[in-house]
Chains A and B, each alone.
Chain A
């Protein structure tokens, strides 16, 4: 009795089937299911399947209370990638520029430290985390909430391709399964299940990322949350997590320490005195040019130059007219 048959049956029935169903419909399906032909078709699409009972199946994921019958894989990387120490980075799709930056920074730093970055390929925080891991040349895993052959959202097709080249795209759903709203919470249990630590970067009060965090807590995994402004709706979810006892994430090192890893040290880049003055002011809070002009006494032209210097050094970034200091290791 094959786990692949269960997965294929779930796809045909359009339902969520974590265990072997005891129905006549499944029995009928099993009688006409040709596993060899199905695997050949998968191989033709450049896909693989690893069953729950197979040796390569990640033990952490097998340990959750409702593991999938198996995982479909896209990408050349070995299945063992899924068993390596992994961190999940999740958060709002409509995140702020700050959230996107934190996600990218975390993705980059944690991947550089040797962790596998797991996320859901969604817009916003998910995409930024994947992107960060790719920036660092690290490994990243995207868990889909639709059939393994689909790129959802379509805007991230390019990102999915890159992940497929350097990491793995995985899904419990067979090719041809359409994305549906209820599949995404189910997908989130895989994200939480694959990772030892789940980091929530930005989340509204009712956010899919909080589902992931809940699932991680249920499985006894560590959950970390980035503190945010108490006035921002985008921080309501993460701040609520902190109130409930999640570990505050104030530095990248906090995550590394949870894994018992040492952070890599890098020398700060050299910048001019004018730029330093601006950076000191930006370290307090993000600001627009006019505000900086008043605080530093520099002219609009001088400030523009200083900010470009900081941007080139990777020490500040501007978005929608507001500049903020950024972690130097984020790169451009």
Chain B
């Protein structure tokens, strides 16, 4: 007696078709799962046995072998519980044999037979649709996510419900897409920032052009506060972008059931103790890292110079290509990671540099070590470098700044203009740039970066072409020589 259920395993974000075969034979009752199942997957045995018993179905007193094919592919996690249970039920003739042919399934079983949601449903559902399956059985909480893949989701709460549905005894309630709720909490507003006109301007340029931004200054000047306000002035994600981001967040188990589709640019701020795999992704069956979770959004590295050097250097590939390839024994995975990098840092280890009210106590060696943390190559990726000096008390007591809602339309308009056609530099602008390359320490990459920022400045101003004034402004955001030269 053999039966087969279908599901998909994920290698990174990529679904691979997995056939869950259950075979019952006479012999001493036993239950074995083969096919490179990891620990969580092996433990499915106990959950499946209890789940079936709790659903008033029969646990076959046979020698049961479950094979997850292809056997060479690593299977991870508890999402195989449901297909294993269904395959066992079908093999023991408790379900019609052909009922499983057109369904994919994914879900974790509770001991009482309830079905729990798991991560990665969107990617699995996309795999199921590509494989030509009509429907996917998944936990009720996962259905909005599965629906995004363009496949018919069958929301199920309990194994008994699944069995009844597959026997044709009852239809589960038709899937109704939920209204996509507002984001969990409103991002913080720019109105909270008083003064800091230059940093605000840089933030607006960064938002409009998708530029990487480095805020440097003494502690307590609002660098982190400013950085956290970048997502609030970014336009919402486009449809394709939203699906891409949702897929990654689904695999990481970060989706909120009340608004399954991620429509706002994600914002990730890993702590500076994060390891390189935590930042770029990794693990035995590779999982997305913070850089991928920030795909189409903002990756904030607060206290950039405190991060381990390997973690920072690992970011160079995604900053260049927008993709992270993680090679592991279990296979190679590609994670998209086209994020906007925002860094904050002090100007020296003691933090007093750049603060007129304090005296820096760092030795030259200590300062050199601190700056060595940031390789030239990484520093070169920041289009905008802004020193954030300590604001005067007068400014802090002043009126609130311009709110994010006022900045957002300008950013959106500039983005639209930049998307429509490339903004060219005027001849004067080109000449100024050439002169600057001669006079200032500016690399070839630096020159291209200045030109890009100038184009963004022009787009924000609604100008047809970037003129000398825009280039002059862009030049003022280059990395200061004390950070670049050693």
Q: Is B267 an interface residue (CB 8 A)?
A: no
Whether B196 sits at the interface, judged by CB under 8 Å, is yes
Which of the listed residues B347, B362, B387 has the most CB atoms from chain A within 10 Å of its own CB? Answer: B387
* A290-332 vs B, Cβ < 8 Å mask (1 yes, 0 no): 1101000001111111111101100000111110000000001
- The answer to whether B472 touches A305 (Cβ under 8 A) is yes
B469 touches A290 (CB 8 A): no
Residue of B nearest to A313 (CB): B439
Q: With an 8 A cutoff between CB atoms, is A94 at the interface?
A: yes
Complex Cα spacing A250 to B369, Å: 35
Chain B residues whose C-beta falls within 8 Å of the C-beta of A304 in the assembled complex: 198, 201, 472-473, 476-477
Q: Which of A153, A301, A303 has the most B CB atoms < 10 Å from its CB?
A: A301
Q: Name the CB-closest residue of B to A97.
A: B482
Closest partner residue, chain A, to B347 (CB atom): A320
CB pair B476–A307 under 8 Å, yes or no, is: yes
Judge whether A289 is part of the interface by a CB distance below 8 angstroms: yes
- B439 and A332 contact, CB distance less than 8 A: yes
Which residues on B sit within 8 Å (CB–CB) of A303? 198
Is B368 in contact with chain A by the CB < 8 A criterion? yes
Which B residues from 296 to 354 make CB contacts under 8 A with A?
Answer: 347, 353-354
The listed residue (A153, A232, A322) touching B389 by CB distance below 8 A is A322
Contact residues, A144-175 vs B (CB, 8 A): 153, 155
A155–B368 touching, CB < 8 Å: yes
| A14 beta carbon closer than 8 Å to chain B | no
B123 at the interface (CB under 8 A from A): no
Chain B residues near A124: list those with CB within 8 A. Answer: 364
Contact for B440 among A94, A306, A307, A332, CB less than 8 A: A332
- Chain A window 175-205, contacts with chain B (Cβ cutoff 8 Å), 1 for yes, 0 for no: 0000000000000000000000000000000
| Across-interface contacts of B354 in A (CB, < 8 A) | 320-322
A93 interface residue (CB < 8 Å to B): yes
Q: Which partner residue on chain A sits nearest B359 by CB separation?
A: A233
Selected from A291, A300, A307, A332, the residue in CB contact (under 8 A) with B201 is A300
A236 CB → nearest B CB, Å: 11
Bound state CA distance, A293 and B201, in angstroms?
12
Residues from chain B with Cβ under 8 Å of A289 in the complex: 197-198
Tell me if B392 is interfacial: C-beta within 8 Å of chain A: yes
CB contacts (< 8 Å) of A56 on chain B: these are: none
- Which residues of the partner chain B approach A153 to less than 8 Å between Cβ atoms? 364
B221-247 toward A: CB 8 Å interface, digit per residue (1/0)?
000000000000000000000000000
Once bound together, how far apart are the Cα atoms of A305 and B387, in whole Å?
16
Residues in B whose Cβ lies below 8 Å from that of A318: 387, 476, 480
When the two chains form their complex, are residues B217 and A293 in contact, meaning their CB atoms are under 8 A apart?
no
A245 at the interface (CB under 8 A from B): no
Query: B475 — which chain A residues lie within 8 A by C-beta?
Result: 308, 311-312
| Interface status of B436 (Cβ within 8 A of chain A) | yes
Q: Which residues of A contact B150 (CB under 8 A)?
A: none
Q: How far is the CA of A196 from the CA of B392 in the complex (A)?
A: 45
List the B residue with the shortest CB-CB distance to A286: B356
Q: Distance (Å) between the CB of A272 and the closest chain B CB?
A: 10
Contacts of B359 in A (CB 8 A): 232-233
Residue with the highest number of chain B CB atoms closer than 10 Å, among A94, A307, A308: A308
Is A300 touching B197 in the complex (CB atoms < 8 A)?
Answer: yes
Distance in angstroms between the alpha carbons of A38 and B362 in the assembled complex: 42
**Does any Cβ of B come within 8 Å of A288's Cβ?**
yes
Interface pair A319/B472, CB less than 8 Å apart: no
> CB distance B482 to A320 under 8 Å?
yes
A281 sits at the interface (CB 8 A): no
Instruction: Judge whether A123 is part of the interface by a CB distance below 8 angstroms.
Output: yes
* A312 in complex: contacting residue of B217, B356, B439, B486, CB < 8 Å: B439
Asked whether, in the complex, the Cβ of B391 is within 8 Å of the Cβ of A311, the reply is no
B residues 419-465 touching A (CB-CB < 8 Å): 435-436, 439-440, 457
Interface range on chain B: under 10, 10 to 19, 20 to 34, or 35 or more? 35 or more
Q: Contact between B217 and A308 (Cβ–Cβ < 8 Å)?
A: no
Say whether B476 contacts A321, CB under 8 Å.
Answer: no
Distance in angstroms between the alpha carbons of A309 and B475 in the assembled complex: 9
Return the CB mask of B186-204 against A: 1 if under 8 Å, else 0. 0000000001111011000
CB distance from B456 to the nearest CB of A (A): 11
| B467: nearest chain-A partner, CB-CB | A305
B395 within 8 A of A: yes
Q: Does the CB pair A300–B200 fall under 8 Å? A: yes
Q: In the bound complex, how far is the Cα of B364 from the Cα of A124, in angstroms?
A: 9
Chain B residue contacts of A232, Cβ below 8 A: 359
Q: Is the CB of B435 within 8 A of A312?
A: yes
Which of chain A's residues have a CB closer than 8 A to the CB of B470? 305
Shortest distance between the CB of B29 and any CB in chain A (Å):
75
- Chain B residues, CB < 8 A from A305: 469-470, 472-473, 476
Q: Which residues from A are CB-within-8-Å of B440?
A: 311-312, 332
Assuming A290-B195, A312-B440, is B477 touching A93 (CB within 8 A)?
no
A296 to chain B, nearest CB (A): 12
A281 to chain B, nearest CB (A): 15
* Contact flag A300-B198 (CB < 8 Å), given A233-B359, A319-B482, A320-B482: yes
Q: Which of B197, B368, B392, B480 contacts A293 (CB 8 A)?
A: B197
Contact of B392 among A93, A291, A309, A320 (CB under 8 A): A291
Interface presence of B363 (CB below 8 A): yes
Output the least CB separation between B451 and chain A (Å): 14
From the candidates B195, B387, B472, name the one contacting A320 in the complex (CB within 8 A): B387
Contacts A289-B197, A289-B198, A300-B198 given; indicate if A320 touches B469 (C-beta within 8 A): no
| Bound-state Cα–Cα, A15 to B368, Å | 32
A303 to B195, CA, bound (A): 15
Residues on A with C-beta less than 8 A from B10 are none
B364 CB contacts on chain A under 8 angstroms: 93-94, 123-124, 153, 155
User: Does B166 lie at the interface of the complex (its beta carbon under 8 Å from any beta carbon of A)?
Assistant: no
Q: Which residues of chain B come closer than 8 Å to A312, judged between CB atoms?
A: 435-436, 439-440, 475
A95 to chain B, nearest CB (A): 10
Interface residues as binary, B382-398 with A (CB distance below 8 Å gives 1, 0 otherwise)? 00001111011001000
Q: CA A299 – CA B201 in complex, angstroms?
A: 9
Contact at B476–A290, with CB atoms within 8 Å? no
Which residues of chain B are within 8 angstroms of A94 by Cβ–Cβ distance?
360, 362-364
Q: Contact partner of B486 among A155, A290, A291, A302, CB < 8 A?
A: A155
Q: How far is the CA of A309 from the CA of B388 in the complex (A)?
A: 21
A304 to B198, CA, bound (A): 8
Knowing that A308-B472, A311-B475 touch, tell me 20 more A-B residue pairs with CB under 8 angstroms: A94-B362, A94-B363, A153-B364, A155-B364, A155-B368, A233-B359, A288-B198, A290-B198, A293-B198, A302-B469, A304-B476, A308-B476, A311-B440, A311-B476, A320-B354, A321-B217, A321-B354, A321-B386, A332-B439, A332-B440
In the assembled complex, 6 residue pairs joining A and B whose CB atoms fall closer than 8 Å, in A order, are: A123-B364, A288-B389, A290-B197, A293-B198, A305-B470, A312-B439
Interface residues of A (CB under 8 A from B): 93-94, 97, 123-124, 153, 155, 232-233, 288-291, 293, 299-309, 311-312, 318-322, 332
Closest 8 CB pairs of A and B: A321-B387, A305-B472, A320-B354, A304-B476, A300-B201, A289-B198, A288-B389, A321-B389
